[in-house]
Amino acid sequence: MFVFACATTEMILLSNDLRGDRPPPQKPSAKLCGRRSWGRSLYFREWESVPKKIRELKQLLRKAGFQELPGKGSHTNWIHPLYAGKITVSGQDSFDAKPYQEKAILSAIQDVEKPKDG
C-alpha cells in the first residue's frame, strides 16, 4: 500500500496491486495540491519547497539595505554600496520567483552581510 499526501486534500491511499477489475488510480489535480507537475512516479512524489513570491524577495532585499532603482516594465534593479554590481528582479509582485532568482538574491544578501576580512 502506498500513500500520497496532499496539503489541501485528505490522504489518498493507492494500492500497488492493480488488478484488471478496477481502473488505475487517477493523478490528483495539480491545482488541488498546489504543485505544477505530477512528479517522478505515480505513487510517490518528493515534496518540493514552495517558491517565494517576487514581493518576498523584494522585502528581503530592502531589509538587507538594497536600494530599488526603476527599470523597464516589471523589472527592478537593486544596488547596495557593499555589493559590486546590481541585481535585476523581473516579474510582477504576485508571481512565483524562479529558482535562479532566489539563489542570486540570497547569495547577494550573504555577500553583503558577510564580514570583510583584513
Residue 26 clears pLDDT 80, i.e. is over it: no
The correct CATH number of 54-113 out of 3.40.50.11720, 3.10.290.10, 3.30.428.10, 3.30.920.30 is: 3.30.920.30
Q: What is the pLDDT of residues 45-79, one digit of tens each?
A: 445 578 899 999 999 999 999 999 999 999 999 99
Domain ranges in the chain with CATH number 3.30.920.30: 54-113
Query: What is the chain's mean pLDDT, rounded?
Result: 75
| pLDDT at residue 50, as a whole number | 86
**What phi, psi does 97 have (nearest 5°)?**
-80, 145
Look at the block and give the residue holding cell 539563489.
103
The most confident of the ranges 4-13, 31-40, 43-52, 91-100 is 91-100
| Structure letter (DSSP) for residue 50 | P
Q: What is the pTM of this model?
A: 0.58
For the chain, count helices (H), then strands (E): 3, 5
The pLDDT of 21-27, averaged and rounded, is 60
| Structure letter (DSSP) for residue 96 | B
How far is the C-alpha of 22 from the C-alpha of 8, rounded, in Å? Answer: 26
How far is the C-alpha of 92 from the C-alpha of 75, rounded, in Å? Answer: 8
> Three-state DSSP class for 8?
coil
Cell of 37: 507537475
> Which candidate, 4, 7, 10, 48, places its Cα nearest to that of 27?
4
Residue 15 clears pLDDT 50, i.e. is over it: no
